[in-house]
Amino acid sequence: MELDLNEDENNEGNIDKMLDTFRSSFWHDEHQWFVQYDWSLDESKVCFYTLPYGFDTFCLESCILSKSTSSLNSYRSSYDQVRHLICTVDFFKYSAPFNIQFCNIEKLSIRFPINEQFWFIIPTCSRLISLDILSSHPDEYCKRQLQALLDRAPHLSSLNIRDYWFSWPSEMIAFNKNIASIFQLNVLLSDVSYDNEQCIALCDAPLGTQCEVLSIRVTNRTCILDLINGMNNLRVLNVQCQDDQSIKNTVSDVDELINWLSEQQPSSYAISEIIRWGKTIHVWIR
């Protein structure tokens, strides 16, 4: 539940009064029901919920100030139900510690850069299987932090990159430590189109060599063939192509790009199915 705060009032005092109504023996002793109020210095809303937190997704956008009827020890284990954390905090904006921890995260959506406070919030990445990177204009410092995160996630299988993190081909090839478990790579969300040289570099990079499901945007249709021919483990390719004429031709029922891909099949592999969904071509490979 969300409530609006009045900036002219003593909000922390009001929160204390509201919490006092849940400190009765009925809530605390008979049923062991605990409640918590979260609020941010950047926003005029307060979030109210029971503990332990009962949802599988939590959005952490700023430094949260919290008050609860629970003890500190149980508070720190109150988010074990959370499996997906959306973390867009500017960690360098806040000096106050984050008194919150998530120990069972399986999917993480994160904005870099991060600092040591992040590692307190997520003390372990042993369960992490999906990583969604939200950063804009990443620098070398962010890339080192990403590598550190990958080093702590031995079971990561899916990597989504929403920005142009790598000056291909050299940086992607160098990004090769502790990624053996990743078999799904999505760079389609980055709004960057990769040319033939970059696609061939991806095929040679560790991420490309082991990739089974790839989502990407390319400059021309021959890049699609480069990817299919060069990635031996590729099973599904989701691709948008800049020279796709079919999306511009709304009159004809003939899908020129799909027909062209079907005609280019070499004997070394078999395309089991090609379909279109909007601008994206989905290719299944046997």
For tokens 């031995």, the residue is: 154
pLDDT for position 242:
92
Residue 36 has pLDDT above 90, yes or no: no
The pLDDT of residue 16: 83
Interhelix angle 221-230/196-204, nearest 10 degrees: 10
What per-residue confidence (pLDDT) applies to 251? Answer: 58
- Higher-pLDDT residue of 276 and 172 is 276
- Of 4-13, 51-60, 103-112, 240-249, the range with the lowest mean pLDDT is 4-13
pLDDT band at 182 (very low <50, low <70, confident <90, very high): very high
pTM: 0.84
pLDDT score at 169:
44
Of 34-38, 43-47, 185-189, least confident by mean pLDDT is 43-47
Q: Which residues of 68-104 are buried (b: 16+ CB within 10 A; e: fewer)?
A: bbbeeeebeebbeebbbbbbebebeebeeebebbbbe
Least confident window among 37-41, 107-111, 151-155: 37-41
pLDDT tens for each residue of 40-68 = 766 667 788 888 888 999 999 887 778 88
Least confident of 166-175, 198-207, 249-258, 269-278: 166-175
CA–CA distances in Å: residue 18 to residues 13, 23, 35, 167: 9, 10, 10, 53
Q: What is the pLDDT of residue 170?
A: 46
What is the residue-averaged pLDDT of the chain? 83
Percent above pLDDT 70 for the chain: 83
Q: Work out the average pLDDT over 74-100.
A: 83
